[in-house]
């Protein structure tokens, strides 16, 4: 199943589990976003009634796109201006498409496992280094003698 949604003045064709980048959204609802639906399809070539359809997504991340350089130039007038622009975006993962009494949900993502830290080895290493050898501090380089010509002028 897929749906066509509207976000940020553009339309996107999405399916459950898709991650899309839309223009920056204000996220005030715990990362859940609901999009207005333009069209819904349960099979290729068939468009269903979008009156009762809804598309729900969760915010995955936010960021800024690549820099686009805008160059203004007027010939023979010595006028040049270069400006950069980075468009802000919100990455959204589509979690559910519901239409016509049916609901299609995206599979749950596996949670990342936290790697245990090696506390014992890390605690012993600095203690051994302190006992065995301390590196001598570097001395500053000797200052160069003033030139003889500067001494004669005085």
Ordered per-residue pLDDT tens for the chain, 154 residues: 888 999 989 999 999 999 999 999 876 668 889 998 888 887 666 777 677 889 999 999 999 999 998 999 999 998 989 899 999 999 999 999 988 788 889 888 887 788 888 776 555 655 555 555 556 667 777 777 766 655 565 5
d(CA 3, CA 42): 8
Q: How many CB atoms lie within 10 A of CB 103?
A: 13
């Amino acid at each position: 199943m897929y749906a066509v949604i509207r976000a940020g003045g553009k339309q996107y064709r999405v399916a459950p589990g898709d991650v899309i980048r839309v223009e920056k959204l204000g996220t005030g609802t715990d990362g859940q976003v609901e999009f207005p639906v333009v069209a819904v399809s349960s099979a290729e070539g068939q468009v269903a009634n979008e009156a009762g359809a809804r598309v729900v997504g969760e915010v995955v991340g936010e960021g800024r796109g690549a820099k686009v350089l805008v160059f203004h130039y007027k010939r023979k007038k010595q006028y040049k201006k270069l400006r950069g622009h980075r468009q802000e975006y919100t990455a959204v993962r589509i979690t559910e498409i519901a239409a016509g009494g049916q609901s299609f949900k995206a599979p749950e993502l596996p949670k990342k496992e936290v790697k245990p830290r090696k506390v014992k080895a890390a605690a012993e290493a600095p203690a051994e280094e302190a006992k065995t050898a301390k590196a001598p501090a570097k001395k500053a380089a000797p200052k160069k003698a003033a030139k003889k010509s500067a001494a004669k002028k005085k």
